[in-house]
Structure 1
Amino acid sequence: MAAALAAQYPGSARAVLFYGSCLRESELDGLMLDFYLIVSDYGDAYAKRWMAAANRLIPPNVFPFQHGGLIAKYAVLSERDFELLNSDEASNVSVWARFAQPSRLVWSVDHVAADRAIAAVAEAPVTLFELTLPILAPEQATDPVDIWRAGFAQTYQAELRAERKGRSGSIVDADPDRYERFALATLAEMAERRGAGPDGKVSNSLHPNAARRRWRRMQRRGKLLSVARLAKASLTYAGGIDYLAWKINRHAGTKIEIKPWQRRWPLVAALTLVPRLIRGGAIR
C-alpha cells in the first residue's frame, strides 16, 4: 500500500511512514490507516502551484487514499519540514507528538532517504522530553512512564482533539514496556548531547517558567492551526467533511450526520461545525 502511494509521486516521493492507532490493530477492514508521505520538495510533488503553496504555508496537506480494499489518509511533508517539525525548533506539536509514538518506515526510495527519515523521527521523543521534564515535579521526573503520560497530556491540549478524556494516558498504557525502553534511550541521548552532572542527572535545557510559556504558546497556536487545517482540508481533501464527522463520531461517541448543503460548501460547514462541537464538548 505504501509503495502504491509513493508511486503517485514519481521522482518526488522519498519515504512513507505508517503511524497511528491502526499499528495496534490486526484487523484493518473498516479502519482508516494513517500515513505520512515525505517528498523531496513541494514544487516537485504537485502539478498545481497552489497545492504546493498550501502545503508550504500550512503543512501538511492531507489526502484520502484507497488500495487493496483498505482506506487511508496521508499527510504530505517535505524532508526539510519533516525534520524541522520533529525538532525542538517546531512551533507546534502536530508532528513530533505523533512520531514520539510508535511508527513504521514502510517504504523509502533508497537508503539515504530511509536514514534521513529515521534521524528525523529519532528527534521526536527528545523534543517531547526537553519540553516536559522542566515542568514536572521531582517525583514525576523519576518515573520514565510518567514523563510520557505528562508529555502526551500536554500535547493533547495543544490541538483540537475528538478523543475522550484520558486518551493521552491510554497511549502509554497500551505498551508501557515500550515507553520505558524508549524513555531510557531518550534520556541517554540527552545525556550524550549535553553531558550528565556529577550526580549522573542531565540538567534541563529550559527553566520551568520558560517551558510553561512555551507550552502555552504551542497550545494557543495549535488550536488555531487545527482550525486552519480543517478549513484547508475542505479544499484539498475529497470528502473531508465526511471524514471529519466520521472521526469525531468514532472518538467522541457523537452521531453527527452531514447534510447535503455541507458537502456542497465544506469550508463553511467546517467553520460552523467546529465551534458547535467545542461548545458541546465533543472536541477540546
Structure 2
Amino acid sequence: MADGPAHGLRKAGSMMESLPADPHAEQLVRSLIDIAGEDQIRTILLFGSRLVQASPDRFSAYDLVLVVENYRGFYDALARAGLSRRPPALQAALSHLLAPNVIAFAPEGWDDGPVAKTMVIEPATVVCALSRRAPDHFMKGRLVQRVALLHARDRAASDWITGLVAGARHDILRWVGPFLGESFTPDEAALRMLQVSYRGEVRPESTDRVLDMFESQRPFLPDLLAMVLADAADAGELTRAGQSYQFVRPPSSLECWSVQFYFTCSKIRATARWLKHVVTFDNWLDYIARKVERRMGMRVEITPWERRLPYLLLWPKIMRVLKARPARSKTGAAEELRSGAPR
C-alpha cells in the first residue's frame, strides 16, 4: 500500500485529544491569552498526570506546552502582569539554551488557584524538537504520549501542531526498535517506548511510575503502537504473525549505537536542564521538594543557605533522593527496565 505511511500520519494526528470540561485548565488558558495576547500564543498543549489521571492530587501541576511567537514579547507580558520575578531579557536569552524554558504559571497564586508547569517554546524550536534531528528526547518523549490541544489560535495553527505531533509518533519505531525483542506486540512496544523515554532522564520517581503511566494510557498507547507497527508492515519493514511483529531487517549495530548515543546525550542535557530550571522556574525548589514528598513519601527541607546557593549546597540532598528511589517494584518493573538495553 503506497499510501500507508501518509494514512498513518493522518490517523496519528487524529489521535490528538480535546480535554473534557476542566475549569482549572480553562482558567489557565484564559489567563495566558489575556496576559500575552491572542497574537502571541499559537498553541497550548496539555500532557502528563492531569490529562491521563496518573495519581494526580490537588497539588499536581498542569503540564503545558506553550508555543509563543516571540520569547521576549511573552516574558515582557508576564513581567508586566507581575507573574514572573525573573528579568524578561534573562528568560528570553535562556530560552535559546537547552530549550524549552520551564516556568511556573500561577495566575491566582500557588495556594489559591491552579498551577501550570509550562514549557515555553517558539515554533521553529518545536519543529526541530519533534523531528529526526532533535538534539534530545525532552519534548518528543512527552508529546508522543497522550496530548490534548487546549488552544489553537486558528485552524492553521491547529493543523500545524497536529502534523508535528503525528510525525513524531510515526517515527517511534526508529528509536524504540533497537530496544525491542525479536518478536513484539503493540502492547510490548508501547511499554518499551515509555521505559526508554523515562530512562532518558534522571527522575525522582520509582520505576513503578512507568507502569502507572502505561496503565493510565490504555488503550491509547497500544492503539498508537498498533498503528505504527501496521504502517511499518505495510512499508515492508516488519512482518506480522497474528498480533506479533518482527523486523525484516533488524536494526544494525550502527543504528543501535546511534540511538544509544542519542539517549546518552539526551540524559546529559536533561540533567543540565535541572540546573537551568532553578533560574527559570519560580519556586522550583519548593515544587521539587513537594513532588518528592508526594511521589516518594520523603520530606525534604530546604534551608535558607541552600536557597541562596543551590548549585553548591544541594548536591548531598539530590544524591540522597536519587539513592532513596525504589529500584525494584512488586511487579518487576526494574527487571523490565534493565532488560531494555539495545541489541
Q: Same fold (TM over 0.5)?
A: yes
Alignment CA distance shift 1:198-1:45 (3 Å):
closer
- 1:191–1:202 Cα contact (<8 Å) kept: no
Which of 248, 258, 263 matches 1:219? 263
User: Does residue 71 of structure 2 align to residue 42 of structure 1?
Assistant: yes
Distance 1:190 1:197, change over 3 A: closer
Are the equivalent residues in 1 in contact too, given 2:182–2:246 (CA < 8 A)? no
Check the 8 A contact 2:237/2:247 in 1, yes or no.
Answer: yes
Preserved CA contact (<8 Å) 2:239 2:248: no
Q: Deviations over 1:139-160 (max 9, x none)?
A: 22xx001101112111111101
Does the CA contact (< 8 Å) of 1:17 and 1:36 recur in 2? yes
State the partner residue of 1:52.
92
**1:5 aligned to which of 8, 16, 32:** 32
For structure 1, which segment, 215-224 or 31-40, has the greater mean C-alpha deviation from structure 2 after superposition? 215-224
1:185 partner letter: M
Residue in 2 aligned with 1:103? 147
Secondary structure at 2:99 match in 1:
coil
In structure 1, C-alpha distance between the alignment counterparts of 2:96 and 2:233, rounded to whole Å: 34
Shift in Å, 1:114: 1.3
- The structure, 1 or 2, with the larger RCO (C-alpha pairs under 8 Å, 6+ apart) is 2
- SS, match of residue 133 in structure 2: coil
> Partners in 2 of 1:94 and 1:211 — Cα distance?
20
Matching of residue 248 in structure 1 with residue 275 in structure 2: no
Q: Judging changes above 3 Å, is the alpha-carbon distance between structure 1 residues 175 and 234 closer, same or farther for their aligned structure 2 residues?
A: closer
Residues 138-187 of structure 1: CA deviation (Å, up to 9, x unaligned): 222xx001101112111111101112113223322224322222123223
Q: Decide whether aligned partners of structure 1 residues 276 and 127 sit closer, same or farther in structure 2, where only a CA change above 3 A counts.
A: farther
| Alpha-carbon distance between aligned partners in 1 of 2:193 and 2:226, rounded to the nearest angstrom | 15
Alignment of 1:67-78 (within 5 A): 67=107, 69-78=113-122
Q: Which residue, 195, 219, 224 being the options, matches 1:153?
A: 195
Structure 2 residue ranges without an equivalent (≥5): 1-27, 77-87, 328-333, 335-343
**Take 1:28 and 1:238, find their aligned partners in 2: how far apart are those partners?**
21
Indicate the larger mover: 271-280 or 96-105.
271-280
Q: Following the alignment from structure 1 to structure 2, what is the Cα–Cα distance between the partners of residues 165 and 100?
A: 20
Shift of 1:67: 4.4
Give the corresponding residue for 1:166: 208
- CA separation of 1:2/1:214 partners in 2, compared to 1, >3 Å: closer, same or farther? farther
Contact 1:231 1:270 (8 Å CA) reproduced:
no
Unaligned residue ranges in structure 1 (runs of 5+):
none
The Cα offsets for residues 193-219 of structure 1, whole Å up to 9 and x where unpaired, read as xx3369678968983423432343233
Alignment of 1:56-135 (within 5 A): 56-67=96-107, 69-135=113-179
Secondary structure class of the residue paired with 2:31: helix
| TM-score (normalizing by structure 2) | 0.72
Helix, strand or coil at the partner of 1:18: strand
- Which string of whole-angstrom CA distances, capped at 9 and with x for unpartnered residues, describes residues 44-78 of structure 1? 43343332221111111111122462122111111
> Does the aligned pair in 1 maintain the 2:207–2:326 contact within 8 Å?
no
Aligned-residue RMSD, C-alpha:
2.9
Q: How much has 1:256 moved relative to structure 2? A: 1.1
Q: Which amino acid aligns with 2:41?
A: A
Matched pairs, number: 280
Displacement of 1:92 in angstroms is 1.4
Distance 1:77 1:156, change over 3 A: same
Task: List per-residue Cα deviations over 1:109-129 (Å, max 9, x = no partner).
Answer: 111111111111112322332
State the TM-score, normalizing by the size of structure 1. 0.85
Aligned to 1:18: 46
Residues 20 and 34, structure 1, Cα contact 8 Å, conserved in 2: yes
Deviation for aligned residue 1:191: 6.0
CA distance change for structure 1 residues 282 and 260 in 2, over 3 Å: closer, same or farther? farther
- Please give the alpha-carbon distance, in whole angstroms, between the structure 2 residues aligned to 1:253 and 1:27: 15
264-273 or 97-106: bigger deviation: 264-273
Q: Deviations over 1:71-106 (max 9, x none)?
A: 221111111211221222212111111111111000
Which residue is equivalent to 1:180? 222
Correspondence for 2:322: 278
Could you tell me whether the CA contact under 8 Å between 2:146 and 2:217 is conserved in 1? no
Q: Which amino acid aligns with 2:155?
A: H
